[in-house]
A and B are shown apart, each in its own frame.
Chain A
Amino acid sequence: MATTSIINKLSNNYPVAEKVKGVFTELTRLVVVPLIGLLVFLLLWAAAAQNIDTSLGKFPGPAAVLEQFGSLYDEHRRERVKEEAFYERQHQRNADRVAKDPGYQPKIRAYTGKETFLDQIGTSLVTVMSGFLLAAAVAIPLGIAIGLSKTLNSAVNPIIQVFKPVSPLAWLPLVTMVVSALYVSDDPMVSKAYLVSMITVTLCCLWPMVINTSVGVASIDSDLVNVSKVLRLRALTHVRKIVLPASVPMIFTGMRLSLGIAWMVLIAAEMLAQNPGLGKFVWDEFQNGSSNSLARIMAAILVIGFIGFLLDRGMLQIQRLVSWDKTSADR
């Protein structure tokens, strides 16, 4: 949007001096000011870090964190090399055994080494997206049903209001126990830890979506509802043709809120339950107490923040694409 306004100004018939000045002020606002902001932040950070002494050494400044990004990436590459060697050895061993014991069905087992920082990012992203999609699959139909029926709304509303403010960490022990009790399989498709994190995320990001969807559905313009009545649309067609399109902006506002919550919840859940992912990475480094630990935790915090930001922007773009009410995205 900002770039289009620059182009607009350029193409209009401003006098040249005005034009240059306009571009300059825009540039300043868009590039220079944020850069100055960032620079001041880095300086303040570096200065503050110098003065904070912890028992693990100085608080990490920007340079130390950058160095850890480098070493985390090196670790990742080394681990990949080890992984290749692991598979090679395994093939060899399987072949040897088949030669000796022809009845043996060779099986390739997944790499047993540690998860690197990049792997943990991947795990966290997969967990948060699956938890979020599961929540959406439950919340949107439920929200529509509640929005359409006043009776159902008054029946369900108290339950939603009570569960909505519950912290994820309160759910965690229950989820852990229930999953271990119910999910019993000799050759599980997905790990228990993954299920526990995912369900905790789902439970926590369900509510904003339900509430926003139901409010969106309930507040559809009565003209639209009347049109549907006049045309005698059947219930499903009414939902498909009138309700869904009309409430899309609200649904997406709810989804964006939920995804933000989901990401925050996930990190906390991983930290507490020691489930693989970025949260576990932070906790492990805290427990290690090595001289690099604080810088590594800081690196993880930056990554968590950046991913949260990208997730939010991504949802915003989708919202803009599918929504007829362009102002809703900026709410």
Chain B
Amino acid sequence: MNWLKPFKKVVAAGVIGVSAVVTFAHAEELGYPEKEELKFGFIKLTDMAPIAIAYENGYFEDEGLYVTIEAQANWKVLLNGVIDGTLDGAHMLAGQPIAATMGFGTSAHIITPFSMDLNGNGITVSNDIWEQMKPNIPKMADGRPVHPIKADALKPVVEKYKADGKPFNMGMVFPVSTHNYELRYWLAAGGIHPGFYAPHKGDTSGQINADALLSVTPPPQMPATLEAGTIYGYCVGEPWNQQAVFKGIGVPVITDYEIWKDNPEKVFGITAEFAEKYPNTTIRLTRALIRAAKWLDENDNANRPAAVKILSQPNYVGADYEVIANSMTGTFEYEKGDKREVPDFNVFFRYNATYPYYSDAIWYLTQMRRWGQISDDKSDDWYKELAAKVYRPDIYTKAAKSLIAEGLMSASEFPDFASEDGYRAPQTHFIDNIVYDGTKPNDYINKFTIGLKAGDKL
């Protein structure tokens, strides 16, 4: 076809000219994706659901994106994949993009245009620890324990282990994971010290002054590690708490919904470089994820059983249908047979769950400061600037507005973009009743009994 070449060039030149005009005329319309073949990573947890649904329901393809989804071994491997470009984006712990951008642990500028879900974690202890905790927990009329169970009930157990000279080991999934901060929050609220980090001295184990020693275990291996007796309890996302109930090896004592009602959980992370190089692709993938999140919560969770069926496929979460359904369909089983209603255990779209609020990022930063991962005092402005560097409501807003313009969604399903400043109103529903106001991070840090305060340095 060589003889066609000169001809082709002429046509191509003409086309470029025409398309330039067309682009100009429709400056408002969203352009085609610059990169069409993408690979996203995830960890086998139920809250990866928006990615799976966007794929299975064809939302990615609607945007002209051809996405491959791949399970990753652990959070570190996943983050490195995004940084070195083997993954274009991934299901991440909210703390990961923040810590990476700040330079705690692996350093790289990661941003998030989409917050994936609220709640969805639980704290599970082994059967043996549960038996020791049980006498300390008040009972209801029918003999079941009163919820939420506070760490006060665990405190005597930990003290006994300490007196016997035995370490009280617990597992969480990553040093900057929501689980780490939630477990610490719960323990500290009950007077158990979870230990400080001191990165400026090279101590990143987080066990300074600790009553309970926290260490990292990948989520899918939590039940096996608990069963082996290496740890006495853990904080992890679903289905790994319900798995412990099914296997009869442990008892979930509290969900993170009860520690902090509607807390932000996972985010979708991409590199800042990716967002800059492929702006249309970034907006389009955000659009697909927003649609998936909406589908997951639509009509009062009506689609959840279908979602559970997809998640139970071996290439996604892969646990049994019943195990995943236990938490995804509005209930949560604590002790075997003690199944309670927790309709908001997994929230994907309601309460503006997908909007990347600056205040959510700042909460994680305050906890990093509280436990010493940030060694020095920082000004309120520092918190706000860092949050704005990582959380990108601007991209989210563009995606949402284009969905509204195309009639795929309605404006009432989103925050009012004209007046939204990215800070949630002061939040009150914490297990220790301390109020969180994202605009005043330093005030908030000073309210805790256990933890570093303004001026403290290890």
The residues of A with any CB-CB pair to B shorter than 8 Å are 55-56, 89-90, 93, 97, 101-104, 107, 109, 112, 114, 180, 192, 274, 284-285, 287-291, 293, 296
Contacts and interface: CB of A to CB of B under 8 A. Distances in A.
Nearest to A85: B58
A290 B16 contact: no
Interface stretch (B242-250, B257-265, B267-275): B242-250
A71 to B, nearest CB: 10
Contact of B223 (A104, A274, A289, A290): A289
29 contacts: A55-B223, A55-B227, A56-B247, A89-B58, A90-B61, A90-B66, A93-B61, A93-B64, A101-B32, A103-B12, A103-B15, A103-B16, A103-B18, A109-B36, A109-B66, A112-B66, A274-B73, A274-B77, A284-B314, A285-B318, A287-B44, A288-B314, A288-B319, A289-B220, A289-B243, A289-B318, A290-B319, A290-B323, A291-B320
B317 interface: yes
Contact of A287 (B66, B249, B318): B318
A288 B45 CA distance: 10
B312 interface: yes
Nearest to A117: B314
Contacts of A293: 318
Given A101-B19, A103-B15, A112-B66, A89 B61 contact: yes
> What secondary structure prevails in chain B residues at the interface with A?
mixed
B218 to A, nearest CB: 8
Contact of A114 (B86, B220, B223, B315): B315
B57 interface: no
A55 B247 contact: yes
Contacts of B312: 290
Contact of A284 (B16, B22, B71): B71
Contacts of A102: 15, 18
A89 B63 CA distance: 13
B71 A97 contact: no
Contacts of B224: 55
A274 B314 CA distance: 15
B205 interface: no
A60 B248 CA distance: 19
A107 B64 CA distance: 12
B44 to A, nearest CB: 6
Nearest to B221: A287
Minimum-distance CB pairs A-B, first 4: A288-B318, A103-B15, A114-B315, A55-B247
Interface residues of B, number: 42
A97 B12 CA distance: 16
Given A103-B12, A180-B86, A288 B44 contact: yes
Interface string B59-92: 0010010111101110001000000101000000
A288 B311 CA distance: 11
Contacts of A289: 220, 223, 243, 318-319
Contacts of A274: 71-73, 77
B19 A103 contact: yes
A104 B315 CA distance: 33
Interface in B19-61: 19, 22, 32, 36-37, 44, 55, 58, 61
Interface string B110-142: 000000000000000000000000000000000
A180 B220 contact: no
Contacts of A296: 314
Contact of A290 (B67, B77, B248, B318): B318
Contacts of B320: 290-291
Interface string B317-345: 11110010000000000000000000000
A248 B400 CA distance: 69
Contacts of A288: 44, 220, 314, 317-319
B247 A97 contact: no
Contact of A192 (B86, B220, B247, B318): B86
A98 to B, nearest CB: 11
A52 to B, nearest CB: 15
Contact of B37 (A109, A114, A180): A109
A293 B224 CA distance: 14
Contacts of B72: 274
A97 B249 contact: no
Given A90-B66, A192-B86, 15 more contacts: A55-B249, A89-B61, A90-B61, A93-B64, A97-B64, A103-B16, A104-B32, A107-B36, A112-B68, A114-B313, A284-B318, A288-B317, A289-B243, A290-B312, A290-B314
